[in-house]
Amino acid sequence: MCGITGIVDMRGERPIDESLLRAMNGVIGHRGPDGDGFHFEPGVGFGHRRLSIIDLEGGKQPLYNEDHTVVVTYNGEIFNFMEVERELLQRGHTFRTRSDTEVIVHAWEEWGVECLKRFNGMFAFAVWDRRAKTLFIARDRLGVKPLYYAMLPDGALAFGSELKSILAHGGLARTIDPHAVEEYFALGYVAEPRTIGMVSPGNS
């Protein structure tokens, strides 16, 4: 079990509050007792808590491509990563680690959002592509690995492996949507597009 966190400015490149992201990452420290890691650049901050399983030395995160223009923070396991790695090697990609994490970076470079079709596993990850100015966040099809996200009133997007990491941000209102509660009791779930929390005007 690992954990991921992040803050991304969806309106520009405002500096990310490093102490805030470290606090968000800290509250999920139990998910990754073997260490933490961070990536910061204008408008983007990724955090990671690591439980070392594969490639104990080389699998530290966030992890980058060769020129550091693509970065990933990832929780999970891609069962067929060696198969995907072989295909990427045949296509000219170079690997520096033996971790399944690096497969995500190069698969994103090669196939973009279609990379998800190559992955068999349980995962939650966020990729930032600096050249394309693209943030891509994904979770496995069954939601085995948790992933929470929220658009905040200031135009930032916050995400994390646990809801309390987003609540640690402080910018998310802790107001319950009574219609969502009614749906939960009537249906056993909250139907899209609602969530259990009240959404402020301009958020989604």
Q: Which of 123, 168, 137, 129 is nearest to 25 (CA)?
A: 168
* CA–CA gap between residue 22 and residue 38 (Å, rounded): 8
Query: What type of residue is 159?
Result: F
Which stretches does DSSP call E strand in the chain? 3-9, 36-41, 44-49, 63-64, 70-78, 121-129, 134-139, 148-151, 156-160
Residue 115 falls in the annotated catalytic set:
no
First to last CA, the chain: 29
**Whats the size of the chain, residue-wise?**
204
Instruction: Classify residue 1 by burial, with Cβ atoms within 10 Å: 0-12, 13-18, 19+.
Output: middle
Candidate list 2, 8, 150, 167, residue with the active-site label: 2
- Residues with a known catalytic role: 2
